[in-house]
Amino acid sequence: MEIQANSSQLEARPQRVSTRFVGQLTLRFARGQSISPRKVHIMSMKRAGLAIALACVLASTSSVLATPGSGVTSSNKVVSAAVNIHAQTMANKLLLLEVGSDRAPVNIVNLHQTFAPGGYSGWHSHPGPGFVIVEQGTITIETRVGCFVDYPQGSVLFAVPGNILNASNRTGAPAVLDGYFFLPSFDPPGANFRVDEPAQYGSCN
What is the residue-wise DSSP string for 36-94? -HHHHHHHHHHHHHHHHHHHHHHHHHHHHH----EEEEE--EEEEEEEEEEEEEETTTE
What average pLDDT does the chain have?
77
Residue 114's beta-bridge partner residues? 73, 176
Residue 8 lies in a domain: no
Residues 87 and 181 in one domain: yes
Least Cα distance to 129 among 86, 99, 66, 188 occurs for 86
Residues 165 and 188 in one domain: yes
Domain end (from 65, 82, 100) = 65
Residue 74's beta-bridge partner residues? 113
Residues 105 and 121 in one domain: yes
Residue 71: CB atoms within 10 Å: 15
Residues 101 and 167 in one domain: yes
Residue 9: CB atoms within 10 Å: 12
Residues 122 and 38 in one domain: no
Residues 122 and 164 in one domain: yes
Rounded Cα–Cα distance for residues 138 and 169 (Å) = 7
Give the H/E segment covering residue 133: strand 130-136
Residues 6+ apart with CB under 8 A from 202: 144
Residue 203 lies in a domain: no
Rounded Cα–Cα distance for residues 42 and 2 (Å) = 20
Residues 133 and 190 in one domain: yes
Residue 201 lies in a domain: no
Residues 35 and 107 in one domain: no
Residues 105 and 165 in one domain: yes
Distance set, CA 109 to CA 23, 71, 77, 82, 165 (Å): 53, 21, 6, 11, 19
CB 161 within 8 A of CB 109: no
Q: Which domain holds residue 84?
A: 70-196
CB 120 within 8 A of CB 166: yes
Q: How many domains does the chain have?
A: 2
The CATH number of whichever domain residue 77 belongs to comes to 2.60.120.10
Q: How confident is the prediction along the chain (205 residues), in pLDDT tens digits per residue?
A: 444 444 444 444 444 433 333 333 333 434 444 445 554 444 455 554 544 444 444 444 334 466 789 999 999 899 988 888 888 888 777 888 888 867 778 999 999 999 999 999 999 999 999 999 999 999 999 999 999 999 999 999 999 999 999 999 999 999 999 999 999 988 899 999 999 999 999 999 7
pLDDT digits over 95-151, tens only?
A: 888 888 677 789 999 999 999 999 999 999 999 999 999 999 999 999 999 999 999
Residues 6+ apart with CB under 8 A from 199: 65, 67, 123, 145, 166
Residues 83 and 48 in one domain: no
Give the H/E segment covering residue 102: none
